[in-house]
Structure 1
């Protein structure tokens, strides 16, 4: 399906040092510091199970602006009966009618290319899939990256920590003994921060992988929302009004917040304009593509108009409990979701100072595009 005239446009900003600092509840922020003794378990907590995946920050490492590339969507080639991904004997449990599935009995790391095609398509249809009892974390980091490269060019996050020598791995890590949860809620009533990962990039992620190393005994779940169903719930008149509109997505605030907390910025931040209604290249489904973490305004509208419309869309997505799913992490879980048709939020709800440690492989996809409205 070819892109329409409603596509992404890009703005590169001046040097970040000249920009006003901002902050927000960005789950991907890292201070660039951690207590190595604490990570070894010397404060009465267990050491990290996968220490080679602990975050590091190379302040000398800088990357040039991302260049356009041609993404091939393998989900378009999939056999939609999924014979390689879901053969007989594999256990499949849908969490809700439109979003969320758990799968047991297949090993992702052993999939053929045909199986990977089916994986991309199945995840696009179910939006988020939790695969249990996986060995992805036990591969070498390079093997995991080689496996994930089938789905697109690896994104390198501009501010997050990464395993030493592997900036393509994005780490989510709250260390053992970290008692900052209470401080987090001193100025906030909720940790929910809906977003689609790095939506400010010209070519944001598509099929995305997150795998767990350490988790609290309870808590630390991840919630997902079906942005296709969110679009479908709108009236045809409202849908038609959204078509043709574009919104700006900014990486500036995330970068500035990282700097303000002693973190790093590997690459100058960008602002991109994306269609508010995005079309998935394999399924043809339309999804809402705005999120409160990175979207800033609607192009061509006055501030009050833009704020009112975005607030409605954010509230619609946030309140849509009947098109959301909650994934509970288990040992060996790999969660796969399609960033083009979902939003998600980690939940900071555990207070026992236990470690929560995950790694994300984030293949980039096509430039967001919109196909014509059909009532």
Structure 2
């Protein structure tokens, strides 16, 4: 190649920052193919004030009887998913829980990190108002200014896949694995203490959600590795996410 020959570079088109966000506008076809059209992501121009520090009393601290008698009854079955992480609770309907049972649920979550409630059709079909009312018991709702939410209910963060298959394929083509880890809004001064994740409609296979107990992982490290990590600092930032959404013109906060 001579010094005057043109140089051709293979430029990879930048990928969207967060795969949880829909990259294409919703269409009428989308509304016809989903069983839950009311939960399609909405990007209404809602602007939130800067988040100030607020007082929070963890409902788990209000539990006096650690046997959890209001949550665990003779009709309740608990199954551990892993020895130190995750519990499946059967025989309990979320819509029927008393405040005392909710406090005990908060304690169980703090102990087991992730708690799963199968067969909650009544709760899932109760609508966003009832669901948001349930979660408000556990603390102040967290509003995501960069993601689609349920129309009229900004406390919902919608993970929607329909209509962006090409973007997802391109995203994964630049990754070494399809397993993606994240920590929910850890960049906030007061990150959410409790998060509810509900699957309305999903594929027959794949799309599994995996949880990890990072505190337990740290405890299992050797003392040498623990000392190494103790001296490290991490920057938790939303700059990339904010920038990506601002470019799309769908930012919902004065940032």
Question: Normalised by the shorter chain, which TM-score bucket?
Answer: 0.7 to 0.9
Shift of 1:228: 1.8
Matches within 5 A, 1:196-345: 196-236=183-223, 238-239=225-226, 242=229, 247-260=234-247, 262=248, 264-268=250-254
Distance change (3 Å), C-alpha of 1:244 and 1:187: closer
In terms of fraction of residues, the more helix-rich structure is: 2
Distance change (3 Å), C-alpha of 1:208 and 1:259: same
Contact 2:60/2:106 (CA < 8 Å) preserved in 1?
Answer: yes
Any idea what the Cα deviations from partners look like across 1:102-125, whole Å, max 9, x if unmatched? 221101221111111111111111
The higher relative CO (CA closer than 8 Å, separation ≥ 6) is in 1
C-alpha separation between the residues in 1 aligned to 2:254 and 2:237? 12
Once the two structures are overlaid, the 10-residue window that deviates more, 81-90 or 224-233, is 81-90
Larger Rg: 1 or 2?
A: 2
Any idea what the Cα deviations from partners look like across 1:293-323, whole Å, max 9, x if unmatched? xxxxxxxxxxxxxxxxxxxxxxxxxxxxxxx
Question: Structure 1 segments of 4 or more deviating over 6 A?
Answer: none
Where does residue 136 of structure 2 map in the other structure?
149
Shift of 1:61: 2.1
Contact 1:30/1:159 (CA < 8 Å) preserved in 2?
Answer: no
SS for the counterpart of 1:258 is helix
When the two structures are superposed, what TM-score results if normalisation uses the length of structure 2?
0.85
Shift of 1:35: 1.8
Say whether residues 1:50 and 2:31 are aligned partners.
no
Contact 2:20/2:160 (CA < 8 Å) preserved in 1?
Answer: no
Shift of 1:174: 0.8
Q: Give the alignment's Cα RMSD to 1 decimal.
A: 2.3
When the two structures are superposed, what TM-score results if normalisation uses the length of structure 1?
0.59
Where does residue 62 of structure 1 map in the other structure?
47
Q: Where does structure 2 lack aligned partners over 5 or more consecutive residues?
A: 1-13
Where does residue 151 of structure 2 map in the other structure?
164
